[in-house]
Structure formats: C-alpha cells, structure tokens
Amino acid sequence: MQTAEIQRRWLDFFGQRGHTVVPSASLIADDPTVMFTIAGMVPFIPYLTGLVPAPYPRATSVQKCIRTLDIEEVGKTTRHGTFFQMNGNFSFGDYFKEQAIAYAWELLTTSERDGGLGFDEKDLWVTVYEDDDEAIDYWRRVAGLPLERIQRLGKEDNYWSTGQPGPAGPCSEIYFDRGPKYGPDGGPAVDDSRYLEIWNLVFMQYLIDDVRSKTEFRIVSELPKKNIDTGMGMERVAFLKQGVENMYEIDQVRPVLDRAAELSGRRYGADHEDDVRMRVIADHVRSSLMLMTDGVTPGNEGRGYILRRLLRRSIRAMRLLGVEEPTFAELFSASRDAMQTAYPEVAREYDRVSRLALGEEETFLRTLSSGTTILDLAVADAKQKGSSGLAGDTAFLLHDTFGFPIDLTLEMAEEAGLSVDRAAFDSLMSEQRARAKADARAKKQSLADLSVYREFRAKGETVFTGYEYLQTESSVLGLIVDGAPVHQATVGQIAEVILGETSLYAESGGQDADAGSIVGDGFDLEVLDVQRPVKGLISHKVQVRAGEVSVGAAATTVVDPAYRHAAAQAHSATHLVHAALRQTLGHEAHQSGSYNKAGYMRLDFGWNQALSLETRSEIEEIANAAIHDDLEVVTRIMPLDEARSMGAMALFGEKYGDTVRMVDIGGPWSRELCAGTHVSSSAQVGLISLTSESSVGSSNRRVEALVGHDAFRELAAERAIVSQLTSTLKTPREQLPDRIAELVAGLKAAEKRIAQFEAQALQSRVPELAASALKSDGVTTVIDHLGSVSSGDDIRGLVTAVRSRLGSEPAVVALSGIAGGKPLVIVATNEAARERGIKAGVLAKAAAGALGGGGGGKDDLAQGGGADASAVPAALDAVRAGLAPV
C-alpha cells in the first residue's frame, strides 16, 4: 500500500465520520518558541488547551513534521526520521475515550478491500496508563483485546502533558508485533523494537499544576471539556504495509536511496556504514525538499541553519560514499517524483527549490575545498611537531567556522595517520549547545504566558475595522500589566489593552503596526505597538498619557492618518517592486520575505547573483511606470483555492485560512494574497527610489527602497549634492561623471608619482645605511629605523639593496618603519650568514613579539609587524639579542 494511499484512506475514514478535514499546516511553526511543526497536534494546540475556541467539534489531518533533536541517529535506526507525517484525529469536547478507541481499532483492522488498513488483530498490542482501568475496559469491550495483550505502564511512557500547567491526561499506545525475528516475546514493555508503536491516543481529561517534572505534578480537577488528540505515524505504518525493513525503504524515500547507490556505485545492503550513509541522504534530501517547498531557505541562523545542516550532511554522506561531484540535481528530482503525489506543491515549487539546493551544493563544495586546505595545513603542522593527533579546537574551528563535518575531519585525519582529540571537540560542542539552549530558554522566558489571553479570546475574535475606518468605537475587554490581568491602568504605566473592535492595524505580513491612540472619557493612551498574540485576538501595547483606563470603559481607536497613508504607500510599493522583479528576472525571483513601514520597504527574493546597476534601474523604472499609469488597487475576499486559480501570489511560510484577501494592482499585473493596508490606486504611492541591493544568503537577495515623501526627500538631497558638485567643479551636471573620473585618475597618478619620489628618496639612503654597518663576531649588521614610509614594499626594497652592498661576508640587515600607522620590521640575511645558522624568519618573529604582533618568512627575507609603534626600539633590540649568541 503506497504512502499516499494510506493518507487518502485516513482522511476518507475520518471525513466520513464527521471530522473536518484540515490540510497540513506549514512546517514553519506559528509558535515563536519553536522553529518547526514538530507534531501533528501542534496546529491544534490553541483549541486543545482552550486558548482559542475550536472552529469545529472534531477534525482530522495528515500533518507534515520536522524533528532535528535526533539528527545524529538518522539512518542508524528504523524510527528516527527528520521529516515525517503524523496522521491525527481530534475531538474538542465532542467524543472521548471509548469512541477514539473504537475509531482506531476499526480503521486498523478493517480489511484493505473495505477501505481499512488491513492489520491482523492478533498482531496488535496496546499499552495504557497504569491507573486507567476505564481504557482497559474499553479495549476489552470495544476491540475484544485479551488482557495479556494490554500492558500497564507508568507516567514516563503513558501520560501526556505540555510540561507546563494546563491540560494533561493518560494515553494509550497501539503496537504492531513484528515477530520473533526482531526480538523476544513479552509485549511492548519488554521490547519496543519487535513491538513497534504505530498509534498514540491521548485522553486529555485533567487540569494540572505544580509541574516539577514529566512525572511529578498535581492534578487539580477534571477538564469541563475533555479532548482527544491521536497520532498515527505514517512512515511506520507505510513500511509495515509495504513489507520493508524500515522507513527509509518506503516508496516516498527509497528512490533517493537508490539514486545515491547508483551515483556512488555502492550496493545498498552490502555494507552497514554505506547503508547508514545512503539512509541519511534519503532522509535529509526529502526533509530539505519539504522545508524549501514550505519557504525555508539555507542560512546561518534558525530554520535556515537547520536546513543548511541537512543539505551539508547529505553532501558529506555522498563524499563518504566516494562521490565528490555535484549530485543534488539527481537526488532532489528523485525525491520530487516520490513526494508529488501526496504533496502536489512539491512539483509546483520545484524550480525554485532546485535552484536553492544546487546553489547551496555549489557553495558547500567550495567550502569543503577550503576546509580541506586548512585541514591539510593542520596535518602537516602536526606531523612537523611530531604529534600523533589533531587538536580538538582545530576540528571545532573547521566544523564551526567552515561547516566542515567532524566525520570528514576524522576520516581525512585517519588517512593521514593521525587521530583527532574527539573529547576536546565534543567538549567544545557541548559548550556551544549549552550556550544555544541558554539563549533559547532566555527567549522562551521573555515571551508572555499566552494563557493570560485565554479568557479574552473566549469572548470572541477582535474585529478589525481599519480597512474602512480610521476611528472605531469599542469597549475595553481587558487590561494586562506585567503579564497579569488588571482592572485598571494609570498615568505612566505601560499596559496591553484588549478591545472588541479596533481600527489599528496589528503587525503582520511584513507590515509594521499602525501609529495612533486610544481615547475615552477621562483617559488618553499612546499606542506603542499592536500585535496578534494568539489567533483572532489583537492586543494594543500602550502608555497611559493621561487619566485612568478601566476594564469595561468605552474607548475609541484613532489611527494616525499620515502614518497609515505612508504605510499603505510602502506596502503597495512592495507589491509593485515584486511584480517589477518578476517581470525583469522571471518567475523564479519569488518573494521570500518583506518588511514595510511608513516611507520604507524591503523585499527579499530568491536569486543567486547580484543585480547589475542596469537591472536595478529597470526594476525601478517598471515600478514607477506602474505608479504613473495610476493602476486601480482592488481588494477581494474569496476562497483560497479560487484565489490561487486566478494566479494570486502567496508568500512562502505564510499561513492562510480557507478564505483569503486578494489584492490586485492593475488586475493580474500584480495579484497577491495580502492582509495589509494599501492605497486605492498606484498613483497614490507617489515615488519609489531603490536605495540598495544586497545578499542575505547564498540564494537570496534583498532590495530596499524609500517610498513617497521619503523617496522625494532622498532624491532632493542627492540633487543638492549634485548641484554643489557642479558649482564647485564648474561642470555641467551631465558631464560630472567624466569630470570626477578625470579627477580621480589624476589623483591616482599624483599618488603614484609621490610614491615613486618617496621610493627614490629612500633608495638614496642606501650608501648612508651601508656605511653605518657594524661588525661583531664576524657578522656585519645594519639595524636602523626609517620613520614613516608609504608601504612595507619600500622597506623591503631598501633592505635588499643594503644587503647587496655589504659583500660576501656574513651580513644581516634589519630595518623598521611605520606604514599606515602600523610598525613593521623587515630582516634580510646573505648566504654566508645563513650558513652560520642566522635565519631572517627567526629574527623577524622575535621583533614582531616585541611589537605585539606576529611575523615570519623565509630564511633569507622575512617580515614582522604589530600594533605598538612605540615598541620599535624594543623590536630592533630583539633582533640584536637574536644575533648576540652567534
């Protein structure tokens, strides 16, 4: 049974039983404390916890998930996959324990011919929480399971909570017996390799507090509405139904594994280490494909870093299989073909995803080349010192700075006959992880406890009226100060205000929050920020400027009209620039992020090379031509599928409901899904001035622009500069570029002539310096300070010229100078001096030590430098001291 067929059967089964079929949410989690959607129930948490009223009594989904905590275990076991799919059915105060068990048993044991999954009842076991006699009774009565195939386990295994005060409850897990080949008898309590968990049913029925650990908490009471949250592991069921050994061999993953085997010339199943590498490649390529399809791009932080790590581990694994050439074109196309039946968007977005993947592969292959060079130098240095191993900090530097995988370092060091101080490397990695976890904890603790919004959200959604009105009358539903609900807020306090209606735009979709105020009888509140802390609720962060505001008071939201207009200009300008980009560069230049506020916009888009000045000018001209054409801006509310069928652009990673707002500028000229505020015609944007274009990653670029009056002011300032230049240089504006180029060329020529004169002046000192030579212990020396020089080249030329004047007897020349504010010492020796063991590199290094820097070089000519110019006398004394024993 193909994986896509399991997905279809699941959704059909629960859909036919009154469950709302909910499409998979993005892999990019809504929760700011979590990077990815890590479980099937994550999108439903607000409903399960009661934070947001559920829009339906029961639901079902097949949710895309990513987990990266066990990334090092991928490929080694049957159960660790980075990307996986969780089939879930949910009840929000509707059915409970008995019905959840009945549904699970029916779907699992109904024959394939009748639409079920066709598992044999005799192969299924269950575990329950040790005190949950009710669940045991249902399993016996509903499913007919004998007691010997129902096992009681403790809180560690069969009790669910978020780890925080709130809903919790026992759970019951369903296991499939794979047979004696995979382990001993005795059920899941004895061996969870033979008995494979395929489905977990969580009975969310209690409210807990005083949470001290996973197993230590206090049950406060039963929940007024009991919820069901279940999850069936798609990949586990798929490999059981397809008769293969593990999740890496199912139909959605195996094609990538097979392609990796073909490209490497290795056979899957012939060597354990090779098998693990092929499974890593298959998992990571699929995971990367799905992440990039959902809008994640490779980067050095957050989600982008995780994606980059997956891609680089794939490249590393291919290299360990003996393949050093690019392979992503083959591997990703194989994954696309395997996944597109279940997820058609994979095919739709493949051109963009492929370009990102190939760009990252090309970059990392160059990085591997650089890292290999550094590793080769470290190996040579270790061997020269007689060491049998590489230091842990060297391995960590390669890993942390260059992205050079530790496995590759170990392999290459072993090939060179060296070990790696793995303990020191692991210690440094642990320190880095501890810092990262501390940062994550700090970030999580800095976020307000969202449960404070529960009672406000229960009163309904905040109605946003700002598309039509700049002022709206409402009432204060709640006040929050320092994270806790209060009845009133007084002058000077910072508070959050919850209203029933508001005309103030909350930050979202890349648009900054509105500026404005909230006023009422006896109070005046300055709006500092407007946010959506939970879905459907708008919170206004305010400072009380005058009076006292209380819960229940009538209040009017007042938007600053000038700010709103400028913000609408900027947001519409973002759409115009996006359309101009795609018209100029092609459809692959898809927006990957944006930010706009009054007078300013920036837009990130997928592209892997800098834009020329001509291209930037063309984009700017197209966008401003659209302003000149006064295109009508129309917003419409419609079903998501209808908007997409009309060609509406959606921002990758954004969450859209079944009903969306589509913004047209000039009809199909620019058509995007957008909840932001906009002007009513493109002419109202006024003016767009692109100010910069830069890189924000290996496959992403960013353009920034000023809009409206801000753009005019910037151009006016540039005009003033041009006017000043034309006056100063007495040159017409159109001739300024040539005139400035002429002046720059003349300046460079003058600087060159001056440098030549200075070099000649220095060379004229050669006779004087040679005449100042001293002789001691058979060695002639010239050691002197030259003062300020243009560059180290001047000193170097003088040193070699003086050395040639000193004849064939042993001679050493050491001259210092200050170039660009930094002290330098250059040392030269002749052949006779070197025969006596005098090395320029050793002397230069000694001088550099006195200067607080570093140095070295060849035996005949070397250089040292530092930062402390006052230490030049000490540096020259260090050279003399280095000569004294000879």
Is there a single domain that holds both residue 551 and residue 580? no
What is the tally of structural domains in the chain? 5
Does 739 fall in a domain? no
Is there a single domain that holds both residue 93 and residue 7? yes
- DSSP secondary structure, 355-400, as one string: HHHHHHHHHHHHHHHHHHHHHHHHHHHHHHTT-SEE-HHHHHHHHH
pLDDT in tens, 549-577: 999 999 999 999 999 999 999 999 999 99
- Last residue within a domain, chosen from 428, 444, 460: 444
pLDDT, residue 777, reads 85
Does 728 fall in a domain? no
Distance set, CA 822 to CA 113, 825, 841, 876 (Å) = 84, 10, 19, 15
Is there a single domain that holds both residue 627 and residue 672? yes
pLDDT in tens, 60-85: 999 999 988 767 778 777 667 899 99
Is there a single domain that holds both residue 539 and residue 595? no
Residues of the chain scoring pLDDT < 50: 439-448, 886
CATH of the domain at 586: 3.30.980.10
308 contact partners, CB below 8 Å, separation of at least 6: 298, 299, 300, 360, 403
Given a contact cutoff of 8 angstroms between Cβ atoms, the answer to whether 849 and 817 are in contact is no
pLDDT, residue 700, reads 81
Is there a single domain that holds both residue 297 and residue 260? yes
Is there a single domain that holds both residue 283 and residue 229? no
pLDDT, residue 655, reads 62
Six token digits for residue 805? 């004047």
- Last residue within a domain, chosen from 233, 248, 263: 248
pLDDT, residue 442, reads 43
Residue 587 labeled ligand binder: no
CATH of the domain at 59: 3.30.930.10
pLDDT, residue 31, reads 66
* Cβ neighbours of 115 (radius 10 Å): 14
402 contact partners, CB below 8 Å, separation of at least 6: 367, 370, 371, 374
Distance set, CA 48 to CA 86, 97, 209, 456 (Å) = 17, 15, 17, 17
Does 310 fall in a domain? yes
- DSSP secondary structure, 220-252, as one string: EEEEEEEEEEEEEEHHHHHHHHTT-SSGGGSTT
pLDDT, residue 33, reads 62
pTM of the complete model beyond 0.85: no
Rounded to an integer, what distance in angstroms lies between the CA atom of residue 490 and that of residue 486?
11
Does 341 fall in a domain? yes
Does 763 fall in a domain? no
Domain encompassing residue 239: 3-248
Rounded to an integer, what distance in angstroms lies between the CA atom of residue 101 and that of residue 293?
35
Is there a single domain that holds both residue 309 and residue 433? yes
Is there a single domain that holds both residue 543 and residue 632? no
Rounded to an integer, what distance in angstroms lies between the CA atom of residue 626 and that of residue 615?
17
Is there a single domain that holds both residue 701 and residue 553? no
Does 118 fall in a domain? yes
Does 376 fall in a domain? yes
Nearest of 300, 292, 302, 278 to residue 403 by alpha carbon: 300
Residue 856 phi/psi, 5° resolution?
155, -175
Is there a single domain that holds both residue 468 and residue 548? yes
pLDDT, residue 446, reads 36
Six token digits for residue 382? 């270790």
Does 139 fall in a domain? yes
Residue 618 phi/psi, 5° resolution?
-65, -45
CATH of the domain at 478: 2.40.30.130
Is there a single domain that holds both residue 178 and residue 46? yes
Is there a single domain that holds both residue 577 and residue 545? no
Residue 65 labeled ligand binder: no
Q: What is the DSSP letter of 179?
A: -
Given a contact cutoff of 8 angstroms between Cβ atoms, the answer to whether 60 and 10 are in contact is yes
- Last residue within a domain, chosen from 697, 716, 735: 716
